[in-house]
Amino acid sequence: MSTGGAQFHALLLACLIVPLSGFAAAWLANAGGAAQPKLAAILTWVIASIGAVAVSHGLERLNYPHARLGLCNTLTLLRAASIAALAGLLATPEVLDPASGLGWGLVLLALLTLSLDGVDGWAARRSGLRSDFGARFDMETDVAFALVLAALAWQSEKVGIWFLALGLIRPAFLLAGLILPALRHPLPDAFWRKTVAAVQMGGQVLILAPIVTPGLSHVLGIILMAGVTTGFAVDIRWLQRRAARAS
């Protein structure tokens, strides 16, 4: 099995990326005027360390077939570390005030994280390192990004706590699959689904922008919730019809 080599590569990267992500979170928190920026670093390190363990476990459980991790999964790891740094800022909520000095720095980091989302898939196809692990890693990183952005928007008082549901829809869908077998079947690739996901994450980043006022951000949040909920409703209906035809 080639999984061991990829796990070793992932471990080496984690030893570098995990500490750097915490320092990045502390720097951002300090730039935003946090009283204790080290809290952001500590939370980031905890999240990033848990993520690193999950990656190693996933490589083994999903039987990663390649001897090397590759640029594609390395980029996803970088994206995950960036998400951990963003999540670490939740430990210093005062820096999420639109009036703080962090403002556009937060948006730029979120945009950088979002930009890596399309690059890792391209790298996987170009290098021939596509795998079930890579697809699952990419998807779960997207889920984490959506949830962290939703939490940041809520803590910034741009939206209400209801906005967290935007990041919890996918986990709820997976949990529902444990009860309803029809929901466990893989969905076919669809351009509209990728478009909805891109608009969702782009919209979430936009909500964090200092120029977006709470009134406008609430409207944007409602639109995003409606679009994502409709998308999941369409998928659930398709899965139910498929199960009915198969029975």
pLDDT for 2 equals: 58
> What does pTM read for this prediction?
0.92
Cα distance between residue 23 and residue 16, in whole Å: 11
pLDDT digits (tens, 9 = 90+) for 154-202: 999 999 999 999 989 988 998 998 898 889 888 888 889 889 988 999 9
134, 138, 144, 145: CA torsion to nearest 10: 150
Cα distance between residue 111 and residue 204, in whole Å: 10
pLDDT above 60 for 1: no
How many domains in the chain? 1
Cα distance between residue 129 and residue 135, in whole Å: 11
DSSP per residue over 170-215, as a string? HHHHHHHHHH-GGGGSPPPP-HHHHHHHHHHHHHHHHHHSTTS-HH
* Long-range contacts formed by 24-29: CB under 8 A, 24+ apart: 24/82, 24/85, 25/84, 25/85, 25/86, 25/88, 25/89, 26/88, 28/85, 28/89, 28/95, 28/102, 28/105, 28/106, 28/109, 29/88, 29/89, 29/91, 29/92, 29/95, 29/102
Look up the domain containing 68 and give its range.
3-246
pLDDT digits (tens, 9 = 90+) for 15-44: 999 999 999 999 999 999 999 999 999 999
pLDDT above 60 for 236: yes
Cα distance between residue 41 and residue 18, in whole Å: 10
